[in-house]
């Protein structure tokens, strides 16, 4: 078997919109540069994701110089959204926890609300260095996260996806497989390991950047959303429930916290330190 390498890198400039595949990315203390620094919220200030609105898969966000994004969707004129110039923050709720963010220009709210047919607002995390601490049960003092679900990065492996797809093929919804990796919305994907090897990782290095592997990733209904059509199915949750359950959690992938910063590139060497 060839040595393990970094197979692919994925950014999500706006949380829960379409993913963007890139050849390289800068690892910052709170995640990949440009990953999940923007998010949609509803009129009550609560995060809107594919859990509530699978049609978000139909919107793309392309990074712009300076941290802005260009929104695009079928049948709509693209809209460039700059990082807000003002510093007035608002409090929003993400998974039951409060966080301060800055609102985008009203044109962004109108564009997104028009696409979804429901009131939403676009917000930006202005200060990732201190706005959202990582769960202290898994973090060191001062470690923070972007607007990702809970941890700076998510790693998956091609071997484990192949193993999962083999299980789906033998299950009661085989027509739903094989599933692509984008169902799991990882940041980094590793090739050249054995299936489920990541369960035993504690520290890893990609290129020259080191990470702590802090906990398995518990999966939700977002994994059942076809990222091309926005349609929901049953898999992979049915199969994960049978083969990858830990208590009430259904597991695929591992959450990471960077121990250093630097650029990772597709093809970089991958090593397990412990």
Question: DSSP secondary structure string, 194-251?
Answer: -TTGGGG-SEEEETTEEEEEEEEEEP-GGGGB-TTT--B-STTHHHHHHHSEETTEEE
* pLDDT band, residue 34 (cuts 50/70/90): very high
Residues 217-241: tens digit of each pLDDT? 999 999 999 999 999 999 999 999 9
User: Strand 188-191 to strand 153-157: parallel, antiparallel, or no bridges (unpaired)?
Assistant: parallel
Contact partners, residue 220, CB within 8 Å, separation at least 6: 51
CB burial string 206-227: b at 16+ within 10 A, e below: bbebbbbbbbbbbbeebbbbbb
Residues 123-179: tens digit of each pLDDT? 999 999 999 999 999 999 999 999 999 999 999 999 999 999 999 999 999 999 999
């Amino acid at each position: 078997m060839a040595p393990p390498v970094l197979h692919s890198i994925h950014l999500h400039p706006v949380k829960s919109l379409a993913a963007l595949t890139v050849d390289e990315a800068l690892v910052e203390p709170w995640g990949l540069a440009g990953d999940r620094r923007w998010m949609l919220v509803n009129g009550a200030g609560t995060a809107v994701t594919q859990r509530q609105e699978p049609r978000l898969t139909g919107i793309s966000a392309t990074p712009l110089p300076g941290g802005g994004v260009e929104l695009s969707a079928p049948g709509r004129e693209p809209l460039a959204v700059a990082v807000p110039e003002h510093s007035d923050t608002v409090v929003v709720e993400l998974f039951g926890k409060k966080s301060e963010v800055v609102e985008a220009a009203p044109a962004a709210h109108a564009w997104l609300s028009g696409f979804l047919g429901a009131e939403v607002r676009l917000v930006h995390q202005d200060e990732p260095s201190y706005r959202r601490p990582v769960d202290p049960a898994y973090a060191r003092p001062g470690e923070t996260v972007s607007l990702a679900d809970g941890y700076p990065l998510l790693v998956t492996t091609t071997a484990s996806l192949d193993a999962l797809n083999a299980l789906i093929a033998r299950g009661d919804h085989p027509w739903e497989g094989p599933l692509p990796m984008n169902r799991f919305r990882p940041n980094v994907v590793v090739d050249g390991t054995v299936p489920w090897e990541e369960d035993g990782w504690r520290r890893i290095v990609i290129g020259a950047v080191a990470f702590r592997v802090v906990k398995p990733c518990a999966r939700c209904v977002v994994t059942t959303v076809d990222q091309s059509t926005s349609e929901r199915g049953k898999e992979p949750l049915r199969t994960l429930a049978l083969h990858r359950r830990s208590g009430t959690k259904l597991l695929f992938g591992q959450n990471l916290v960077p121990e250093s910063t630097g650029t990772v590139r597709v093809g970089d060497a991958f090593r397990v330190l412990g």
